[in-house]
Structures are given as structure tokens and as C-alpha cells.
Structure 1
Amino acid sequence: MKAITYRAFGPAAEVLQLEELPTPSPDHGEVLVEVSFTGVNPSDVKTRTRGQPGLTGFPWEYIIPHSDGSGVISAVGDGVPSSRIGERVWIWNGQFRRACGTAAQQITLPAAQAVPLPDNVSLEAGAVLGIPGLTACHAVFGQGDVTGKTVLVQGGAGTVGILAVQLAKWGGARVIATCGAQGSDRARRAGADTVLDYRAEDLGDQVLTANDGNPVDLIVEVELGCNIDTDAQVIAENGRIAAYGSAREMSPKLPFMPLLFKAVTVDIILVYLLSTVERDRAIRRLNDALEAEALKFDIQKVYDISEVCAAHQAVEAGAREGAVLIRLNDS
């Protein structure tokens, strides 16, 4: 099989390569997936440059990167029903704490990590569900329904944010999104009731005005360190801040008193480590939204397998208008 690999950490152009590797065979409880598309996420490029937290040095002979992907099950190991052969699936945690991820034409992994893809959902969209889809779904619904509530999505035009806007709207919430001017139309098309410029000096006041002067119930947060003061201003008593990122300020200072006297929950989300209960719940919610055709997926570009360096560099550059995928097999 063709696989994208690297054998040392470093820049994409220096370490990524395309090579032929043996096709793996599924062990007990595993499936073999013919991967149609692999998704490139910010965490994938960060892992390529520095490794995964908790792992020392370069832990394997080589790494096949990427956690997300989609494809068709072609074989099953003992303990997995043969009826799953031919099933279209999407994949989560493909390369988390293991050497071989979804950036190869075949992957073996535990059967639970290959989730059936509804017939009305494309394989391209399936490759966006692992990290962005589950993160957005858990951030919005991690503490229950949002019907009748107000959800603020900070970074509402990003890959996770645009899905969070759609999921919250589908869930019956009023949605306020913040983003740059370039993404405002995308956030509106996704269903946001109000879209605000994240750079506005009076952003907190604008959020409250957009919610009829009332604080918001839930904040889906892409940049906790930069936005925590605004979040503390606009969050309601007993509200929740679901933070999945803080790249610009990795050591945030929390305004403890305002958060304390609102009894705010700051929920730090790492989608790789969702409990089985949390993940199953998020998968069910995602499936319901997909079946209801409530989600549209923005895909910036699909690269050829030979263009892996360009795909990684596109993610590293930021300011994307959708997901970045690599085609591995014809679907």
C-alpha cells in the first residue's frame, strides 16, 4: 500500500515522504479500512513537529500521520461480524498513541473506531467528523440540550466553529458567532443569528446587546487565553465555557473572581480523551444531525496523495476556509 510517513520530527518538506508498505491484517476485534480520504488537522502538523504529549522521543520506527479519515471496510478480524465488510465508515483517533494513522491507503484499528457513515453523507465529509465533528458536538451538547439557550461560538468560521454553529442552531439555540471579516458570510450561512468581529474592543458589550442584554449560557471557545476576559463578562451564572483551544496564549490567566461568583464551569476539551460514554453520546448526536441533513461541510481543498507537503503547509498557514483533505483511494 501507499503510505505517507515520517521517521523524524521536523518541517513537512524535510520529513514527510510517500512510500510503499505492506498492507496490514486486522487482529481480533479490528477492521481493515480502505481509506478514501484522510483529514489534516492542526494537531497532526503539531505532532509532526514535536510529537505527542506523554510520548518520549521518536517512539516508533516510522509514523503514518493523521487521526481522521473515511473509507470502506474490506476485511474484519475475529470477533467482528463479517456483515461489516463493505460498510462506509469514518474514523476517529487513527494515530493517537499508535504509529499508524489514516494517511495510508489501508488502516487497521479497533472496530469501534470505524463508525458507520450515513448513506446521505459523502466520504469527503466523513473525513471531517473525527476531530472537528466530535469536538464541536461535545462542546455544544456535552452538558445536555441547548434548546432555548444562547450559545456564543468564538471562532465561528473555523472548521470546528462552523460545525458548532450548525449543531447549536439545529439543537434549538440562539447562536452568536465571532470571527474575522473574511469568515462572516460563512458563519451567517451556517445559521448564526448574529455575527460579530472578534477584534472589536467592545466585543463583550456587543455580545450582550445581541442577546437582548442578557448573558449567554454556553461559550464554545477556540482561544481561551485571549478571550477569557470577554467570556467572563458575558457568561451567565452557572454557565459553561467549553474550551478546545488556546494556541495564542497557552498559559492563560483566569479572572477568578468574576468566574467564581457566577459559578462558571470551564470545561477543557481534548477530543482524544473523551470517555466511552461521552464519545458514544457525541457520535449519536452527530449521527442524528447527519441524518437530519443539518450539517454542511466546508472543504477548502482535496489534495492528491503526492501533495502531502502542500496539504500540511496549508494547515500550518492558518486562515483556512474549510477542511484540508488528501485523497488516498478512489471512492
Structure 2
Amino acid sequence: MRAIVYDRPGASDVLSLTERDIPAPGPGEVRVRLIRSGVNPTDWRFRIRPLSFDEVTPGQDGAGVIDAVGPEVTDFAAGDRVWLILAQHEKPFGTAAEYVVQPISRVAPLPDGVSFDIGAAIGVPALTAHRALTVHDHGPAHLGPGTMTGLTVLVQGGAGAVGNAAVQLARWSGATVVTTVSSARKELLAKAAGAHHVINYRQGDTESAVRAAAPDGVDLVVEVAPAQNNALDLAVAKTGGTISIYAKNGGDEYSVPILETYFKNLRYQYLVLYSLHAEALSRATSDVTSAIASGGFRIGADSGLPIHHFPLAEAAAAQDAVEKGAIGKVLLDIAET
């Protein structure tokens, strides 16, 4: 099979397309013939770190068709369409290949009529967004129509992949969604994703604009850049609100004023999928599968998430595009459907 591999850390030129044996599934595992692979920032970030394995095939996200099952597998069969969850976490071989073997805990059914593009696009972004939206004291543990009715969510950076997923999933679940963006183009994308109020933070007073959209404040903030935005988050969050932090764009550190924070009974919830407990990951997988089945999560420019396709052989260029801040979702085309 064709696979992208690297055996040393470095720039994208360490990636190479090579031939490797097709793996066989073991007990509790399935083999997936991949159609699409999703590319995430963690792919290039992991690539520049010291390796934990002699050779790595990148790729946490992907979608395809099961073509072989191992012993003790009863929930899946050859021919099932599936999407994958954290396929390369603690493993050397991810989804930038024609085949991948995964334990069934990392495999979810891809509903009929849902494209492989969507299956490869959800993974890390949508599961991260789900976690960010389900940690509020008065919010739901599961997402779905009506589960966030009455809540107001501020999504910082609503045109990014996680931001787009947070906007779509919160809107699907009935929340009022306010989001910030940095350009007119991103404003159009955030509106297409379904945000009720879109604020260009480069124009005017952002706090006043958020207050105008949410006079009583926001219940939950989905935060991509805490070092830049903490003062704004504190100013607009309701008493008892939650600030969910999933990235550190714009700085590595920030200070928190203690009195202002604890008199508001605020919760800071940090989150990363790679150490998330299995129950929360399972809930997120189930809810995201329901969202894509019912149209609660869509892709494409008309849904605020442009898709950029690269052939498998151009995995280096695909990772470079993500590292340079491509707007939308980058996918590797591995096979025809």
C-alpha cells in the first residue's frame, strides 16, 4: 500500500511517499480502506517533535470502508462505511495511507448519504468543539436539538475549523451564537456556519459589540487565544460562566485577576482530546455522528468551511497549508469512492 512516512523530526520535507505492507487487524480491530484523510495542526506540530517510534505515518482523522475485521469484532463488518477518531494517538501509523488498522473504540459509523469528505473533516475539530460546549455547569452533557436552548455562546475565532464546528454544533443544539472574526471574508464564513451575531474584532470596540449582541452576557466562551482575549472573556461572561480553552494562539501565558474571576464564580476549562477520558470522547463521537446524519454539521464554503483537496503524494504541501493558516479544512484524497 502507499503510505506517507517520516523517521526523523523536521520540516515537511521529511515526509515521503513509500510502499508498505498492508496491515492485518488483530483481536478487537478492523482494517479500513481509506478514502479521505483529514489534516490538522497537530500533524505538523507532532512532526517537529522527537519521535516516539522508529517511523510514523501521520493523520488522526479519516474516513473509508472496512475491508477486514479481526477476531472478537461483532459491531462492524466488511463493507461498513466509517469515520475514525484519534487514529494516530499513541500509535505510529495514522490515516495518511491507503489502509489503517484501528481498535473498534476509534471507529464510528458514517451514516448513509454522508460523504467521506465530511467523515474526514469532523474528527479533531468537531470532537474538540463538542467538549468545549459540554463543560458548562448549567449546560448539557450531550448535544442535540434543544439541548442548549436558552444559552448564549461566544466562539472566539468562528472561521477556524474548531470555531466553525463550535458554531454549527451550538446552533444545531439551540444556543444563541456570537462569534468573533478578523476579516470580512471570515465574517461571511461565520455567518454561513450559522452564527447569529458576527463581530470583526479589528473594527470598533469588541466588548461593546458582544454586549450589544448579548446584553446579559454569555454563558460559555469557546476560546482559541486566551492570552489575547482573557480580559474580554472576563468582561462579557455571566456569573457562573465557563471559558473553554482549546488552543494558545497569540501567546503562551496570561494572567488572571483573582477577585474578578472568583466573584463571578467562573470556570476555566482547559481541554485537549489526546488526554480526554473515554466517556467524554464516546459521548462526543455519538453526538457528532448524529449531527452529520441530520445536517447539523455541514462542510463547504456555503457552510463556512471551505475544503482544500490534496492528493496523498502531496501530503507535505497539505501540512504546509495547515501550518500557514489555510482557512477551512484540508483533506488528502487517497482513493476514489
Settle same-fold status: TM greater than 0.5: yes
Among residues 85, 91, 101, which one is paired with 2:78 in the alignment?
85
Q: How much has 1:82 moved relative to structure 2?
A: 7.6
Mapping 1:319-330, distance limit 5 Å? 320-330=326-336
**Contact 2:60-2:94 within 8 A present in 1 as well:** yes
TM-score where L is the length of structure 1: 0.94
Letter in 2 for 1:132: P
Checking the alignment, whether the CA contact within 8 Å between 2:30 and 2:66 is kept in structure 1 is yes
Report how far residue 11 of structure 1 moved: 0.5
Provide the secondary structure at the position in 2 that maps to 1:321. coil
Deviant stretches of 4+, over 6 Å = none
Partner deviation per Cα, 1:76-120 (whole Å, 9 max, x = no partner): 111002852111111111111211111111111101211101112
SS at match of 1:79: coil
What displacement does 1:200 show?
Answer: 4.4
Question: Do the aligned partners of 1:66 and 1:102 also contact (CA within 8 Å) in 2?
Answer: yes
TM-score (normalizing by structure 2): 0.92
Matched, 1:9 2:9: yes
Q: Deviations over 1:282-328 (max 9, x none)?
A: 1222122222212111243110111111101100111x231001011
Q: CA deviation at 1:201?
A: 5.8
Return the alpha-carbon distance in structure 2 between the equivalents of residues 83 and 262 of structure 1.
48
1:54 corresponds in structure 2 to none
Amino acid at match of 2:199: L
Q: Which residue number in structure 2 is paired with residue 43 of structure 1?
A: 42
Give the AA of the match of 2:105: A
Per mean C-alpha deviation after superposition, the further-off stretch among 267-276 and 140-149 is 140-149
Q: 1:70 to 1:190 in 2, by over 3 A?
A: same
| 2:56 alignment partner, SS class | coil
Q: Is the 8 A contact 1:156 1:179 kept in 2?
A: yes
Residue identity in the other structure for 2:150: G
Map 1:220-299 to 2 at 5 A.
220-297=222-299, 298-299=305-306
Which residue of 1 is the match for residue 316 of structure 2? 309
Partner of 1:113: 106
CA separation of 1:322/1:238 partners in 2, compared to 1, >3 Å: closer, same or farther?
same
Query: Once the 2 structures are TM-superposed, how far is the Cα of residue 121 of structure 1 from its aligned partner?
Result: 1.2
Q: Deviations over 1:38-95 (max 9, x none)?
A: 1110111111112xxxxxx422221001111111111111100285211111111111
Q: Secondary structure at the match of 2:23?
A: coil
Query: What amino acid is the match of 2:171?
Result: K
Work out which of the residue numbers 180, 183, 187 in structure 2 matches 1:184. Answer: 187
Structure 1 residues 169-207: Cα deviation after superposition (integer angstroms, max 9, x where no partner): 111111101012220011111111110012346211210
Is the 2:156–2:221 contact (alpha carbons within 8 Å) kept by the matching residues of 1? yes
3-state SS, counterpart of residue 48 of structure 2: helix
**Aligned residues of 1:140 and 1:168 also touching (Cα < 8 A):** yes
Deviation at 1:280, TM superposition (A): 1.6
Count of equivalent residues: 322
Provide the rounded CA distance (Å) in 1 between the counterparts of 2:150 and 2:231.
25
Secondary structure at the residue paired with 1:249?
coil
Residue identity over aligned pairs, in percent, reads: 37
Q: Which amino acid aligns with 1:308?
A: A
Match of 1:23 in 2: 22
Distance 2:221 2:51 in 1: 37
User: Displacement of 1:20 after TM fit?
Assistant: 0.3
Which residue matches 2:209? Answer: 206
Contact 1:153 1:165 in 2 (8 A): yes
CA distance in 2 between partners of 1:25 and 1:299 (Å): 35
Letter in 2 for 1:276: A
Gaps of 5+ in 2: 141-146, 300-304
Q: Contact 2:109–2:289 at 8 Å: present in 1 too?
A: no
Q: What is the aligned partner in structure 1 of residue 144 from structure 2? A: none
Change in 2 beyond 3 A, CA 1:251/1:30:
same
Provide the residue aligned with 1:195 in structure 2. 198
Q: Is the 8 A contact 2:135 2:269 kept in 1?
A: no
Q: 1:275 to 1:49 in 2, by over 3 A?
A: same
Residue type of the alignment partner of 2:148: V
Q: Report the CA distance shift for 1:80/1:299 in structure 2 as closer, same or farther (over 3 A).
A: farther
Point out the more displaced range, 277-286 or 105-114: 277-286
